[in-house]
Chain A
Amino acid sequence: MLDFFKFFSKEDNKSKDIAKERLKLILIHDRANVSPKFLDMIKGDIIKVISNYMEIDEAGMDIKLSRIERENDNYSSALIANIPIKRMKKIGKNN
């Protein structure tokens, strides 16, 4: 009986898990004291540098602070950037 319920509650994603995930992300930002403006500045600079070597899809670019699991259940903050590449520029290739 219990398993039956468990099965169901798993299906529609327990609200406490949503709370936990949201909190983890919120606290990363709170603790690092990082504002969206700060992230935008990093984003702008990364685009500037990478654009020297490849053509990227700026609209599809996603940059965020997250946390990654290290060994022994330890977590550390990580800057995760997802940058779709449209085309490599000549300058970045071996001749």
Chain B
Amino acid sequence: MGEVIVITSGKGGVGKTTTTANIGTALALEGKQVVLIDADIGLRNLDVVMGLENRIVYDLVDVVEGVCRLKQALIRDKRFKGLYLLPAAQTRDKNAVNPEQMKNLCEELKKHFDYILIDCPAGIEQGFKNAIAGADRAIVITVPEVSSVRDADRIIGLLSAQGLNTPLLVVNRLRMDMVKKGDMMDIDDTIDILGIDLLGVVPDDERIIVSSNRGEPAVIEASSLAGQAYRNIAKRIMGEDVPLIQLENNDRFIDKLLGLFKSKKKN
């Protein structure tokens, strides 16, 4: 029986889709059967970030409405064994699906996959309710900025109201140079304010933009610090105890080398 994990944040643009793509790919690289669901109906993007936009025939709404079978809508990622995408519909809106249907869909997918990752839309309306309906666990993404942390707190409250009481936190786009100057809240500040456990920290990394330009998740790049952070997060989801990567700026080059070494050793 697989596990359904929703990736959510409240605020838009903090990295939900990128995180979903990268954690999912990393889990598949670890040999897991993974399906990514884009729950952002009307504003689909996970397909583009994954570089699978040209392969969409059917989508989530088609499955729910019975236009096609579930298997027909799943896009197999040929680059990564065991990785699949269920894309969102682009020409419909959030009300095309209801929480009950999402729950049923998740239950069905759990029979065939180890991990079902749901990319939640921004906001707290219908799309959010749909995305969390079938989830067993939740990952809350925030960037270290006031508006994002505030929305994360609100989301944590709403998740709890749905019985998702122990969401885990991913702090995204951390900039150590700014933290050092005292111009960015650090990891401890953020955990202290939100009061939930940390799953991982992803440093701000321009490689992420390069990888989304190409439609190739950053986790496949050994030299990407963010990619390494996502690989570690995937391992923690699988229950491994992996320490946080050192993000100190001066050691950055060394860390990259170390990261390279470590990832080579793992493969």
Residues of A within 8 A of B (CB): 9, 14-17, 19-20, 22-24, 26-27, 30-31
Contact of A16 among B150, B153, B183 (CB under 8 A): B183
Number of B residues with CB within 8 Å of any CB on chain A: 16
Pair B182/A17 contact, Cβ less than 8 Å: yes
Closest 4 CB pairs of A and B: A14-B182, A16-B185, A9-B182, A15-B183
Contact call A23/B146, Cβ cutoff below 8 A? yes
Once the chains are docked, how many angstroms separate the CA of A18 from the CA of B53?
Answer: 43
Chain B residues with a Cβ under 8 A of chain A = 145-146, 149-150, 153-154, 157, 179, 181-186, 189, 193
User: Can you pick out 5 interface pairs between chain A and chain B where the beta carbons lie within 8 Å of each other?
Assistant: A14-B181, A16-B189, A30-B153, A31-B153, A31-B157
Q: How far is the CA of A9 from the CA of B182 in the complex (A)?
A: 8
Minimal beta-carbon separation of B53 from chain A (angstroms): 37
- The A/B interface has a contact count, at CB < 8 Å, of 37
Q: Say whether A27 contacts B183, CB under 8 Å.
A: no
- Is B157 touching A20 in the complex (CB atoms < 8 A)? no
Contacts A16-B189, A20-B193, A31-B157 given; indicate if A26 touches B183 (C-beta within 8 A).
no
- Tell me whether B150 and A26 are in contact (CB under 8 A): yes
Which A residues are in CB contact (< 8 Å) with B182?
Answer: 9, 14-17
Q: Is the CB of A27 within 8 A of B186?
A: no
Which single member of B150, B154, B186 contacts A23 (CB below 8 Å)? B150
Q: Return chain A residues, CB-CB under 8 Å to B145.
A: 19
- Give B150's nearest chain A residue, CB to CB: A26
Q: Shortest CB–CB separation between residue B201 and chain A, in angstroms?
A: 16
* Residues on A with beta carbons closer than 8 Å to the beta carbon of B183: 14-16
Complex Cα gap A22–B185 (Å): 12
Residue of chain A at shortest CB distance from B189 = A20
Contact between chains at B185 and A20 (CB < 8 Å): yes
- Contacting residue for B154 out of A9, A19, A20, A30, CB 8 A: A30
The answer to whether A24 touches B154 (Cβ under 8 A) is no
| B157 in contact with A9 (CB, 8 Å) | no
Residue from A22, A24, A30 whose CB has the most chain B CB atoms within 10 Å: A30
Asked whether A30 lies within 8 Å of B146 as measured between CB atoms, the reply is: no
